[in-house]
């Protein structure tokens, strides 16, 4: 791979395996996955449940280590890093958007959004500024002091997106972001993600919903732990 | 993560679980409060006794004579010989008894101490009005009396000096009133009538001296004087050590100090046990809390919390819970002490040292017993934790 390509490339998975022991048998959740995601991509990973989708998401999100293979994220090899180092990678490089939003119910919106920055050790003033900015980007600049329970599902997911944006990570990782939302709100959230992608954010989205995947620039399908390219507008 | 942020986060969690936190700290709180109260009462009592003893003078030795065979007491001349020791600054033989004092038509029961003029010095009495008894009163067996302030008051004497009173029917002239000394463990110091020792036979129907106060020149000489005093008494009673006892104020003071020390040691054990029980309560609550908050821990980890961030957050929570128990316990204890002091009418001296130590230890217990749960939280696998 040339240096120019290397600069453009954000994620490079090479021959990733993830094995589980189940009832004495070895089971390949990821069976030799290789994929490259360039900066500015909007890639959807589709597949039925049990296809290895979640495992791939965990590996991509540095929440789990592959059994073998190499994972380059933003130019650094991460598959062998220790827990603390991985925590730091998650903090600086990845913004998570979960299906169940995963907001802390007892914290106000702004306190939820600033959590990644708190673990970065950022000063309170800078945190507030960044959070306000991120919340305005998702259209919730007026809900700073609400509790998550006072917001609708769509609004909560937008808070989660703001939280993912607050750290300005190179990668946004969305795991079924519309899975808990009605179709109208889903469309709004996907529109927001598209908008963010157009503004330069790299997004990897995991979904089983074809209509959601249709909005991505690129779609890969996973089944039985293997990836196949389905559509790539860029190429 | 910054320290202040961790503390803020931990405080937030503790605060959002008010009832549970309160119930958890109850054990530590009650333990600390009761120890604070008991220490305050113990200290107060010990200090009161000490100050009373010091009021008597630490240089004072008291010889009580029980006697042996036919010789059950000593005479004035014997007392002079017995107290003839280097380093004695004063001595006072005392014959005591109880009499009915009458002034006009008012009667009152008081103790009579028939003694010598040096009694005032030895027992540190001073005269508020008039004068104390003098050598010459004794030499001529004058029927003069010095009365305690309480006696004067009870008899309704507005200007007692020069007035006549009768002691068991014998007329005496009041020549002075003692300044009030308050009461001690041995009873009121002001409810006494002092008369010359030579007139004891008249009022008390006896001239048998049973008590001899001896004052050493200085605290350093007390031991020497005591040894000599015991030696003289032993000689006088021909080797019978049961015939007399010699009290030393310093010894008594030491005994009281020892008692209060052993009491505080015991209280320390009580505190330790209550802290242990409280600590187990904290551990229990923290374990439940970690299980309940598995998802929260997963979220925090996914957002970049390191193991030590999670460990720190839970340890600080445990420390806050423990410390809160200590602080509330100390406050309740301080309130309880003053209440107990009023209710039992005994002096209390709350110990600030104990309070500070109690709070510090409670926090320490929180950290100690919070460590296992906090470690468990920090070690959770983020993938597993998020699935909760």
When pLDDT is cut at 50, 70 and 90, the band that residue B256 belongs to is confident
Q: Quick check: A97 and A160 in contact, CB under 8 A?
A: yes
Lateral strand order in the sheet of A68-73: A25-38, A9-22, A68-73, A76-77
State mean pLDDT over B196-211: 87
In sequence order, what are the residues at sequence separation of 6 or more whose Cβ sits closer than 8 angstroms to the Cβ of residue A184?
A: none
Coil, helix or strand at residue B42: helix
Task: Supply φ then ψ for residue A88, to 5 degrees.
Answer: -65, -40
Q: Among A84, A90, A118, whose Cβ lies nearest the Cβ of B302?
A: A90
Is 60 exceeded by the pLDDT of residue A202? yes
The span from the CA of A217 to the CA of A231, in Å, is 8
For residue A87, which residues of chain B lie inside 8 Å, CB to CB?
Answer: 301, 304-307
In sequence order, what are the residues at sequence separation of 6 or more whose Cβ sits closer than 8 angstroms to the Cβ of residue A213?
A: A44, A46, A205, A207, A219
Q: Among A83, A106, A121, whose Cβ lies nearest the Cβ of B2?
A: A121
State mean pLDDT over B74-97: 87
In terms of CA atoms, which chain A residue is nearest residue B386?
A102
Percent of chain A with pLDDT over 70: 97
For residue A103, which residues of chain B lie inside 8 Å, CB to CB?
Answer: 299
Residues of A near B (CB-CB distance < 8 A)?
58, 61, 63-64, 83-84, 87-88, 90-92, 96, 98, 102-104, 106-107, 115-116, 118-121, 163, 167
Lateral strand order in the sheet of A202-207: A94-97, A171-175, A202-207, A42-46, A218-223, A226-232
Coil, helix or strand at residue B7: helix
The span from the CA of B42 to the CA of B35, in Å, is 10
Coil, helix or strand at residue A31: strand
The span from the CA of A196 to the CA of A201, in Å, is 6
When pLDDT is cut at 50, 70 and 90, the band that residue B217 belongs to is confident
Percent of chain B with pLDDT over 70: 96
Put simply, the answer to whether B305 touches A87 (Cβ < 8 Å) is yes
Q: Is residue A72 part of a domain?
A: no
The structure tokens listed for A33 are: 């996955």
Is 80 exceeded by the pLDDT of residue A3? no
Percent of chain A with pLDDT over 90: 80
Least confident of B200-204, B208-212, B254-258, B320-324: B254-258
The span from the CA of B199 to the CA of B33, in Å, is 58
The structure tokens listed for B9 are: 């986060």
Task: Name beta bridge partners: B93.
Answer: B212
**How many beta carbons lie within 10 A of that of residue A24, not counting itself?**
5
Per-residue confidence (pLDDT) for residue B243, from 0 to 100: 86
State mean pLDDT over B274-300: 93
Task: Name beta bridge partners: B165.
Answer: B172
Best of B3, B295, B302, B388 to disrupt the A interface (most A CBs within 10 Å) is B302
The structure tokens listed for A155 are: 């609004």
Our CA angle for B129, B133, B138, nearest 5°, is 160
Element (H, E) at B36: helix B18-56
When pLDDT is cut at 50, 70 and 90, the band that residue B307 belongs to is very high
Is 80 exceeded by the pLDDT of residue A1? no
Task: Name beta bridge partners: B215.
Answer: B60, B90
Per-residue confidence (pLDDT) for residue A142, from 0 to 100: 93
When pLDDT is cut at 50, 70 and 90, the band that residue A4 belongs to is low
Q: Among B1, B12, B304, whose Cβ lies nearest the Cβ of A90?
A: B304
Best of B304, B379, B385 to disrupt the A interface (most A CBs within 10 Å) is B304
When pLDDT is cut at 50, 70 and 90, the band that residue B143 belongs to is very high
Q: Among B5, B299, B383, whose Cβ lies nearest the Cβ of A104?
A: B299
Nearest chain A CA: its distance from B291 CA (Å): 15
Mean residue pLDDT of chain B comes to 87
Q: Is residue A202 part of a domain?
A: yes
Put simply, the answer to whether A96 touches B382 (Cβ < 8 Å) is no
The span from the CA of B265 to the CA of B257, in Å, is 12
Best of B6, B11, B14, B303 to disrupt the A interface (most A CBs within 10 Å) is B303
Is 70 exceeded by the pLDDT of residue B56? no
For A212-226, how does the pLDDT look when each residue is reduced to its tens digit (9 = 90+)?
999 999 999 999 999
Per-residue confidence (pLDDT) for residue B183, from 0 to 100: 59
In terms of CA atoms, which chain A residue is nearest residue B298?
A102
The structure tokens listed for A35 are: 């994929």
For residue B303, which residues of chain A lie inside 8 Å, CB to CB?
Answer: 90-91, 96, 115-116, 119, 163
For residue B306, which residues of chain A lie inside 8 Å, CB to CB?
Answer: 83-84, 87-88, 119
The span from the CA of B270 to the CA of B60, in Å, is 38
Element (H, E) at A115: helix A115-118
When pLDDT is cut at 50, 70 and 90, the band that residue B182 belongs to is low
Is 70 exceeded by the pLDDT of residue A234? no
Q: Quick check: B209 and B79 in contact, CB under 8 A?
A: yes
Per-residue confidence (pLDDT) for residue B186, from 0 to 100: 55
Tally of structural domains, chain A: 1
Name the residue among B122, B21, B25, B4 with its Cα closest to residue B328. Answer: B25
Q: Quick check: B253 and B336 in contact, CB under 8 A?
A: no
Per-residue confidence (pLDDT) for residue B187, from 0 to 100: 57
Task: Supply φ then ψ for residue A202, to 5 degrees.
Answer: -85, 130
Per-residue confidence (pLDDT) for residue B84, from 0 to 100: 84
Percent of chain B with pLDDT over 90: 37
Distance (Å) of CA A160 to CA A30, A138, A208, B239: 28, 10, 20, 98
For A53-99, how does the pLDDT look when each residue is reduced to its tens digit (9 = 90+)?
989 999 999 999 999 999 999 989 999 899 999 999 999 999 999 99
Residue B81 has what DSSP assignment?
H
Q: What is the CATH number of the domain that holds A211?
A: 3.40.50.300
When pLDDT is cut at 50, 70 and 90, the band that residue B252 belongs to is confident
Coil, helix or strand at residue A2: coil
Decide: residue A206, CB within 10 A, 0-12 exposed, 13-18 middle, 19+ buried. buried
The span from the CA of B91 to the CA of B77, in Å, is 13
The structure tokens listed for B342 are: 């009023």
B346 vs B298, more confident: B298
Mean residue pLDDT of chain A comes to 91
For B328-357, how does the pLDDT look when each residue is reduced to its tens digit (9 = 90+)?
999 999 999 888 888 877 788 888 888 898
Q: Among B295, B303, B383, whose Cβ lies nearest the Cβ of A119?
A: B303
Residue A168 has what DSSP assignment?
-
Distance (Å) of CA A31 to CA A18, A26, A65: 7, 12, 14
Is 80 exceeded by the pLDDT of residue A211? yes
Distance (Å) of CA B115 to CA A4, B126, B161, B201: 116, 15, 19, 12
Element (H, E) at A28: strand A25-38
B7 has a chain A CB within 8 A of its CB: no
ipTM of this complex: 0.93
For A144-192, how does the pLDDT look when each residue is reduced to its tens digit (9 = 90+)?
999 999 999 999 999 999 999 999 999 999 999 998 899 999 999 999 9
B304 has a chain A CB within 8 A of its CB: yes
């Amino acid at each position: 791979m040339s240096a120019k390509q290397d600069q453009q490339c954000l994620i490079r998975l090479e021959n990733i395996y993830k094995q589980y022991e189940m009832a004495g048998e070895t089971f390949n959740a990821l069976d030799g996955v290789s994929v490259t995601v360039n900066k500015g991509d909007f890639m959807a990973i589709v597949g039925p449940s049990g296809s290895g989708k979640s495992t791939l998401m965990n590996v991509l999100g540095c929440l789990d280590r592959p059994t073998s293979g190499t994972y380059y994220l933003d130019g650094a090899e991460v598959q062998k890093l220790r827990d603390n180092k991985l925590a730091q990678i998650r903090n600086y490089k990845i913004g998570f958007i979960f299906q169940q939003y995963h907001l802390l119910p007892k914290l106000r919106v702004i306190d939820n959004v600033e959590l990644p920055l708190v673990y970065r050790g950022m000063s309170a003033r800078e945190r507030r500024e960044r959070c306000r900015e991120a919340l305005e980007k998702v259209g919730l600049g007026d809900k700073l002091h609400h509790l998550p329970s006072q917001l609708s599902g769509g609004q909560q997911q937008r808070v989660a997106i703001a939280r993912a944006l607050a750290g300005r990570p190179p990668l946004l990782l969305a795991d079924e972001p519309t899975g808990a939302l009605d179709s109208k709100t889903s469309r709004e959230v996907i529109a927001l993600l598209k908008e963010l992608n157009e503004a330069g954010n790299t997004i990897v989205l995991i979904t089983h919903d074809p209509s959601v995947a249709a909005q991505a620039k690129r779609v890969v399908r996973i089944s039985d732990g293997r990836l196949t390219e389905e559509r790539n507008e860029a190429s | 993560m910054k320290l202040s942020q961790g503390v803020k986060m931990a405080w937030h969690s503790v605060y959002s679980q008010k009832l549970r936190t309160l119930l958890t700290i109850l054990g530590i709180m009650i333990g600390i409060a009761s120890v604070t109260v008991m220490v305050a009462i113990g200290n107060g009592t010990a200090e009161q006794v000490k100050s009373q003893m010091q009021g008597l003078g630490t240089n004072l030795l008291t010889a009580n004579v029980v006697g042996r065979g036919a010789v059950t007491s000593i005479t004035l001349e014997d007392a002079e010989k017995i107290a003839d020791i280097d380093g004695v600054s004063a001595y006072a033989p005392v014959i005591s008894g109880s009499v009915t004092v009458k002034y006009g038509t008012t009667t009152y029961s008081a103790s009579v101490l028939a003694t010598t003029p040096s009694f005032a010095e030895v027992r540190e009495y001073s005269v508020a009005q008039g004068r104390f008894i003098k050598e010459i009163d004794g030499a001529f067996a004058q029927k003069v009396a010095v009365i305690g302030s309480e006696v004067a008051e009870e008899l309704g004497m507005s200007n007692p000096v020069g007035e006549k009173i009768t002691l068991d029917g014998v007329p005496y002239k009041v020549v002075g009133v003692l300044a009030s000394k308050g009461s001690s463990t041995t009873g009121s110091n002001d409810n006494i009538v002092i008369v010359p020792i030579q007139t004891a036979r008249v009022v008390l129907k006896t001239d048998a001296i049973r008590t001899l106060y001896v004052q050493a020149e200085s605290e350093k000489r007390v031991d020497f004087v005591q040894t000599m005093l015991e030696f003289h008494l032993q000689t006088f009673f021909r080797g019978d050590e049961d015939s007399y006892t010699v009290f030393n104020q310093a010894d008594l003071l030491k005994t009281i100090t020892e008692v209060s020390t052993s009491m505080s040691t015991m209280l320390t054990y009580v505190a330790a046990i209550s802290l242990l029980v409280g600590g187990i309560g904290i551990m229990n609550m923290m374990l439940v809390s970690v299980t309940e908050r598995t998802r929260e821990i997963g979220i925090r980890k996914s957002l970049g919390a390191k193991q030590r961030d999670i460990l720190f957050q839970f340890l600080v929570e445990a420390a806050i819970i423990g410390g809160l128990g200590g602080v509330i316990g100390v406050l309740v204890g301080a309130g309880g002490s003053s209440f107990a002091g009023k209710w039992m009418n005994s002096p209390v001296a709350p110990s600030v040292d104990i309070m500070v130590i109690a709070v510090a230890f409670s926090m320490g217990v929180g950290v100690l017993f919070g460590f296992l749960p906090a470690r468990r939280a920090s070690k959770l696998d983020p993938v597993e934790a998020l699935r909760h």
